[in-house]
Structure 1
């Protein structure tokens, strides 16, 4: 069913229906994903001493342009060096039973070491399946007390990869199962599915910013040279730029130019996800995130969620990311989101 959907999706985007072959190469700390003979991304799990979660990093377009920021794993000249926990593409959350799984990083300043952090430990590569549609299945554990305490959640994630001459598509389907008697996702700002994009895809800004999370942690984002910086968000509801932050949308598209050609990165929400259509935690400085469990801050206190699981209960998140070496219009993205909703349950 999923394979059929992906073939139809490529047809609707005006490219050949035949997908390029996806293959995998396993290494000690990563699984490389190759599409049509070209490196695309890696499922990267270097261990908690280097990174407090597994991520997809880096991520390239079909033409070979890198859409993700390099810092802190592979810094590049001219990049921002804020938010060292923003690496590649990931899924985690700021407050689970009082522990912060979002902000945890080995690069945090010493004054924050008393902050209650959680760690998401990669457990196992369950399976890989190559072909016109590639599938990678993995498991992980959400462990409190910076990975030294008790397991709170079991995670089972399936990545589905596909591509054509100018498109790359990633489905991430993650199921979290409560291990603790009660697991509460406190209604907070920082979460949940996210990409930290390359400097060129940021929105140009001429002012500094200071961002403070619910625990009082401040991150300063300074003014930088905007040469070559040309990103812009466009939502399914027609909202653009910095104004998309805290709005709800079925999909969000980041448009820009990278390596002298148009690049679009679109994230699609799914009707079966909590709080659909979700609030978007998309910032001009390069954080591109959707947060289905944060409602209070985005609604200015009008609503509050505090989602809770009892032991053994499950919660599934479904997201599709489309990476294109060209523009993606509203009609195309509306069609793609509708097909995603129909074919992935």
Structure 2
């Protein structure tokens, strides 16, 4: 009888990371929820004030290789320090009723903050494990600096392991809370990941980028040692040429810690602007923007989204993260087909 009690007590105090499959660890004081797979952290849903939006950070493969840049939250030696708003995996936009949600971060001076919007976490609506999949449902508000709510966001994350590929699905439903909410056709948006230095593309040039507010960001030339990334889209377009092209999916592949890593992003056919334009930069920004059509098409197309009060729109995207070999087009097509289900 005593041994049975001891076993029961041990099971009761075993840490969450001892569980097989997916599990959650709430860390309310740190303002995050950890998502683990077989006891290893794969990512955390973070709602830090400093990031001005909820993010998934860090993001790791199923075996624990970190694929996201650490700066500015957890800087690592040799990383770029441009664009402090590029953190983990995030979802937002550069111009919503004239407010810049994309470029907002701790780096914006207080006297200019009124020109920027923030996405504030409200609550966790659901957190569950079903059939070896993890579900996380959250509520956030897109607000101005006075706290006025432009949009309510309900996001559903699904984490799964598909034959050794970590799949993260994100479905974000935005509902207008003002008489009119306008997403202006601009370059920076909407779903994005900032990858680790090793997964950037080798570059021999120094770049300058200008945002919607006229701010210039320098991306300096760095030593390319160990930098191995290359983009490939569904049509077989590679490298920098992926930027500004429409495609149903694109992946980035390279090597980190001695292993091959592939990161794919898949657009959903029901998304507005499908197939999306890709805002994929060699310095490590990997983003899909269905609304920034004017800049990507050299003025041939334009799409500004308008929502009237209480009207909603949903954006669905899938991330596929593979370790050990390059993800093949056949795999991406299969993951894309499965996404429809």
Q: TM-score, normalised by structure 1?
A: 0.90
- 1:45 offset after TM fit, Å? 0.9
Partner residue in 1 for 2:297: 299
Out of 249, 260, 263, the residue aligned to residue 261 of structure 2 is 263
Secondary structure in 1 matching 2:302:
coil
Partner residue in 1 for 2:42: 40
Q: Is 2:114–2:144's contact at 8 Å kept on the other side of the alignment? A: no
- 1:214 offset after TM fit, Å? 2.6
Partner residue in 2 for 1:117: 116
Aligned equivalents of 1:288, 1:303: Cα separation in 2? 22
| 1:103-252 equivalent positions in 2, closer than 5 A | 103-108=103-108, 110=109, 113=112, 116-131=115-130, 132-145=132-145, 148-163=146-161, 166-252=164-250
Aligned equivalents of 2:22, 2:288: Cα separation in 1? 27
Aligned equivalents of 1:214, 1:164: Cα separation in 2? 39
Question: Considering only aligned residues, what root-mean-square deviation do their CA atoms show, in Å?
Answer: 1.3
Partner residue in 2 for 1:314: 312
| 1:272-291 equivalent positions in 2, closer than 5 A | 272-291=270-289
Unpaired stretches in structure 1, ≥5 consecutive residues: 1-19
- 1:112 offset after TM fit, Å? 7.5
Larger RCO, structures 1/2 (Cα 8 Å, 6+ apart): 1
Q: Structure 1 residues 42, 262: CA separation in 2 closer, same or farther (over 3 Å shift)?
A: same
Runs of 4+ in 1 over 3 A off after TM superposition: none
Partner residue in 2 for 1:62: 62
Q: Is 1:62–1:165's contact at 8 Å kept on the other side of the alignment? A: no
Deviation digits for residues 107-155 of structure 1 (CA, Å, limit 9, x no counterpart): 23x498266000000000111002400100000000013xx24100000
Length, aligned pairs only: 318
Aligned equivalents of 1:165, 1:286: Cα separation in 2? 27
Partner residue in 1 for 2:321: 323
Larger-Rg structure:
2
Aligned equivalents of 2:32, 2:114: Cα separation in 1? 29
Q: TM-score, normalised by structure 2?
A: 0.91
Aligned equivalents of 1:111, 1:246: Cα separation in 2? 33
